[in-house]
Amino acid sequence: MLGSTGGCANPSRDQTARLLSSTTPLPERFSVPFVVPPVKQPVSRAGGASAYEIVQRRAVLEILPGRQTEVLGYDGLLPGPTIVAPRGEQVTVTHRNELYLPTVVHLHGGHTAAASDGYPTDLLLPAASPTGRRLSGHAHTTGGASGVVARGSRPYVYENEQPAATLWYHDHRMDFTGPQVWRGLAGLYLITDDAEEALGLPAGDHDLPVMIMDRAFAADGSLAYPSLDPRLLETPGVRDPYTAGVLGDVVLINGRPWPELAVDAARYRLRIVNASNARRYRLGLSPGPAGGGAPFLQVGSDGGLLAAPLSQHEILVAPAERFDVVVDFGAYPVGTEVVLTNALGLGSTDAVMRFRVVRSVRDASRVPEHLAWWEALETAPDTPVREWRFSRGGAGGPAHWLINGRAFDPDRMDARPRLDQTEIWRFSSDLHHPVHVHLSPFQVLRRGSDGPGRWDAGWKDTVDLTPTETVEVAIRFTEHTGRYMLHCHNLEHEDMMMMAAFETMA
Ligand code: C2O
Ligand code: CU
């Protein structure tokens, strides 16, 4: 059923992962229209609070033209519906699990109370599973001693007391996050605020999410993934040689393969979200704008707006990172086809979508010199430093990937940081590991012996570590005490134990 290993000899210089090739014919690129995922409407909105209901269910979608693909989706969609939350509005999302397996919902980048953060053992069991049924042979997947387990439905509460930003929500079930996200459990969550709206950045249909997921498809049109247990109920993990991470040969943008979008000759804000399990992208525009300028003006990163826009010739985006960029299609003659290229891709993955400039318009948008107030986290010689080493574990068994030489244990707290105290966290790496910390964002201080890299600007919650690299960040947790985690966001590494838990203390 599953495709053979492609020509991409990974782990490589660019990816720590292995290509799974589709065995179904792939559509021609740029032949399907670009779509924006639907914005979810609340069931109620009053007094600064709103309530949403999302049903996690199976659905059959036409992802590849003329083919049927079953997904596990939020509201049966891939990606799920987008939630738009004004800053300060309390949002409660009640998820109902109508699937056949446990799930966990995490709002990635959210400043969320521990009870709603989606700790991997805080399971939401399916509404319909027979009582007492064993959901997994693996001790952790039933919650163990550590999980707060719900059945049927579960409310997740988000305060949204954080600046405007492009967040995303996705599955976080212990041991099975990779296959469950791959099959569809991921969606966008946008926080808006007045300060951002007042800037005059491209808005409305000139403000577009670009959620990138690579996938592979089997001959019958289903999503291919090398799970040891394709039902995702018993044995976690993936078959060799995919334990370093799974890459697909189809690039989906907002759930459509290599789509094309007709654009005005005007500025667009593209909210780039890498929702791929393991693939890194180096995005560029071809052709570049006339005059050879930088095609991207970066205005935001994971945690929201930058202090000032940053010109970028390319955007290197690791799994789970977000880059908010403005592209001015006014720099192209009407009729130009502009490809969003991927310099790290080979063959079918060397481009991700295409824009076609179709009309000239009056463009009232702008990108101001100053975007947002910026607080640099202060560090001093006595700032506490914590080390987190990301490395491959022993062969065999589920613990392929380790942090500080240890496999994840949901009941072991590996750090107890104090709220409101800035710390330096030093991440070091053997291979590629996109490192993500829950609860609070961080600022990159150093990459190796240099300052922050060119893609490290702003408030980050995920940072791309390359082989043998050390990255130091300043981090300060605020407001919420409880159990949180940091982990590698290569989802196969995450599932194979590359996570660590910490507890924030008042
Ligand atoms: Cu996007 Cu702990 O995850
Ligand atoms: Cu990793």
Which ligand 1 atom minimizes the distance to the CA of 168? 1
CA atoms within 13 A on the CB side of 3: 28
| Interval 49-71 mean pLDDT | 98
Give the number of whichever ligand sits closest to the CA of residue 497. 2
Instruction: Give nearest CA residue, ligand 1 atom 1.
Output: 108
- The answer to whether the CB of 163 falls within 8 A of the CB of 109 is no
| Pocket of ligand 1 contains residue 40 by CB under 6 Å | no
Q: How far is the CA of 129 from the centre of ligand 1 (A)?
A: 26
Residue 501: Cβ-neighbour burial (10 angstroms; 0-12, 13-18, 19+): buried
* Ligand that lies nearest to the alpha carbon of residue 431, given by its number in the listed order: 2
435 lines ligand 1 (CB under 6 A): no
User: Does pLDDT of 136 surpass 90?
Assistant: no
Take residue 391 and report the two structure tokens written for it: 């490395």
Closest atom, ligand 1, to C-alpha of 485:
2
Tokens of 436: 């993500």
pLDDT of 110 above 70: yes
* Ligand 1 contacts CB of residue 354 (under 6 A): no
User: What is the share, in percent, of the chain residues with pLDDT greater than 70?
Assistant: 93
Inform me whether the pLDDT recorded for 7 exceeds 90: no
- Ligand 2 centroid to 392 CA: how many Å? 8
The answer to whether the CB of 269 falls within 8 A of the CB of 326 is yes
- Nearest-CA residue for ligand 1 atom 3 is 108
Residue 69's pLDDT is what? 98
Ligand 1 atom with least separation from CA of 462? 1
- Average pLDDT value for residue range 463-469: 97
Residue partners of 327: CB distance under 8 A and separation at least 6: 267, 268, 270, 285, 295, 296, 297
Q: Quick one: which atom of ligand 1 is closest to the CA of 170?
A: 1
Q: State whether the beta carbon of 436 lies less than 6 angstroms from ligand 1.
A: yes
CA distance 221 to 226: 15
**Rounded to whole angstroms, how far apart are CA atoms 80 and 65?**
20
**225 contacts 179 by C-beta, under 8 angstroms:** yes
Q: Is the CB of 493 under 6 A from ligand 1?
A: no
* Tokens describing residue 276: 């791929």
Q: Which ligand is nearest to the CA of 485?
A: 1
> Looking at this protein, which amino acid is placed at residue 143?
G
Which residues have a beta carbon within 5 Å of ligand 2, which is an ion? Answer: 433, 488, 490, 493
Distance of CA 343 from the midpoint of ligand 2 (Å): 21
Nearest ligand 1 atom to alpha carbon 109: 1
Return the ligand 1 atom nearest residue 118 CA: 2
Ligand 1 centroid to Cα of residue 106, in Å, is 7
CA distance 304 to 375: 13
Q: Ligand 2 centroid vs 388 CA: distance in angstroms?
A: 12
* Res 291: pLDDT: 83
> Which ligand 1 atom sits nearest the alpha carbon of residue 108?
1
Ligand number, closest to the Cα atom of 167: 1
Cβ partners under 8 Å of residue 450, min gap 6: none
List the beta strands (DSSP E) in 25-82.
44-46, 49-61, 69-74
> Average pLDDT of 457-485?
98
pLDDT tens, residue by residue, 242-279:
999 999 999 999 999 999 999 999 999 999 999 999 99
d(CA 439, CA 111): 5
pLDDT at 33 over 50: yes
pLDDT band at 13 (very low <50, low <70, confident <90, very high): confident
Q: Cα separation of 416 and 412, whole Å?
A: 11
Residue 398 has a pLDDT of: 67
Which of 367, 472, 483 minimizes the C-alpha distance to 422? 472
Q: How far is the CA of 433 from the centre of ligand 2 (A)?
A: 4
Inform me whether the pLDDT recorded for 434 exceeds 90: yes
- 410 close to 140: Cβ distance less than 8 angstroms: yes
pLDDT digits (tens, 9 = 90+) for 215-248: 999 999 999 999 999 999 999 999 999 999 999 9
pLDDT of 124 over the 80 cut? yes
Find out whether the beta carbon of 106 lies less than 6 Å from any atom of ligand 1.
yes
Indicate if ligand 1 lies below 6 Å from the C-beta of 400: no
pLDDT-based confidence at 176, cuts 50/70/90?
very high
Residue 2: is its pLDDT beyond 80?
Answer: no
Cα 486 to middle of ligand 1, angstroms: 8
Q: Which ligand is nearest to the CA of 496?
A: 2
CA angle 19, 22, 26 (to 5 degrees): 125
Ligand nearest to the CA of 173: 1
Question: Ligand 2: distance of its center to the CA of 141 in Å?
Answer: 21
Calculate the average pLDDT of the chain. 94
Are the C-beta atoms of 278 and 492 separated by less than 8 Å?
yes
Q: What is the 3-state secondary structure (H, E, C) of 89-131?
A: CEEEEEEEECCCCCECEEEECCCCCHHHCCCCCCCEECCCCCC
Are the C-beta atoms of residues 449 and 431 closer than 8 Å to each other?
A: no
- Taking phi first (over 0 means left), then psi (-120 to 50 degrees means alpha), and beta for anything else, what does residue 480 get? beta
Q: Is the CB of 322 under 6 A from ligand 1?
A: no
C-alpha of residue 57 to centroid of ligand 2, in Å:
29
User: What's the pLDDT band for 128 if we cut at 50, 70, 90?
Assistant: confident
pLDDT digits (tens, 9 = 90+) for 273-330: 999 999 999 999 999 998 889 999 999 999 999 999 999 999 999 999 999 999 999 9
How far is the centre of ligand 1, averaged over its atoms, from the C-alpha of 299 (Å)? 23
Q: How far is the CA of 436 from the centre of ligand 1 (A)?
A: 7
Give 63-82 pLDDT, tens digit per residue: 999 999 999 999 999 999 99
Residue 45 confidence (pLDDT) above 60:
yes
* Centroid of ligand 2 to alpha carbon of 48 (angstroms): 39
Please compute the mean of the pLDDT values over residues 130-155 and round it to a whole number.
64
Element (H, E) at 402: strand 401-403
